[in-house]
Amino acid sequence: MPTRIVLTVILLCVAAGGRAVAHHSFAAEFDATKAIRVTGTLVKVEWTNPHTYFYVDAKDDKGDVVRWACESGAPGALSRRGFKRSLLKLGDTLIVDGYRAKNGANLMDARRVTLPDGQVMVGASAGDGGPQ
């Protein structure tokens, strides 16, 4: 079985099993037709309610550095699934997969976060009606 498929299935299982605290509908803020990957340097973390945010500086197509706000579930929900504040270290390179804000801002719903050591964290607020 292709590794990619197995990993995808496993991620889906984790996302479906865990429910973060949905503060609002995914679809009110994010566009599920615009899946994106942002790879960049972690520059700021806000481990807050109603959502956690972390900020990543990444180069755009022109080579300019753009700051992305990455929205995840509430701290309690992330913590219970093993996504701890201590895993996010300023200066680390993160790979963030998710969906862009509908209003075109550099804001994304961070549904999958790959840490420098390869650990994959589920950042989604799964109770928000977003893609599973």
Partner 1 sequence: MRTFVVVSVALALTAALVAQERPMQLDDTKVPKGRPAPRMANGKPDLSGYWKGTTQTRPGGNIGKDLPGWKLPLTPAGEAALKHNLTATVDPEAVCIIGGTPRHNASGLPFEVLQGNNKITFMYWYSYFRLIPFTPGLKHSDDPDPSFFGEEIGRWEGDTLVIDSIGFKEEKVWIDENANPHSDALHVVERWTRPDYNHIHVETLIEDAKFYTKPFTYARTWALGEPDEQIQEYSCSENNVDAAHLGFGPGPIRKDGTRGYDNPAPLPPPVQKK
**Minimum distance of partner 1 from residue 14's CB (angstroms):** 5
Given the structure tokens 């972690």, which residue do they identify? Answer: 42
C-alpha–C-alpha distance, residues 110 and 71, integer Å: 5
Per-residue interface string for the shown chain with partner 1, residues 77-116, x marking contact by CB under 8 A = x--xxx------------x-xxx-xxx-x-x---xx-x--
Tell whether residue 54 is a contact of partner 1 (CB under 8 A): no
Provide the residue type at 88 as one letter.
Answer: L
Tell whether residue 119 is a contact of partner 1 (CB under 8 A): yes
* DSSP output for 44-111: EEE--SS--EEEEEEE-TTS-EEEEEEE---HHHHHHTT--GGG--TT-EEEEEEEEETT--SEEEEE
Residues near partner 1 (CB under 8 A)? 1-4, 6-8, 10-11, 13-14, 17-29, 32-37, 46, 48-51, 53, 69, 71, 74, 76-77, 80-82, 95, 97-99, 101-103, 105, 107, 111-112, 114, 118-120, 122, 126-127, 129-131
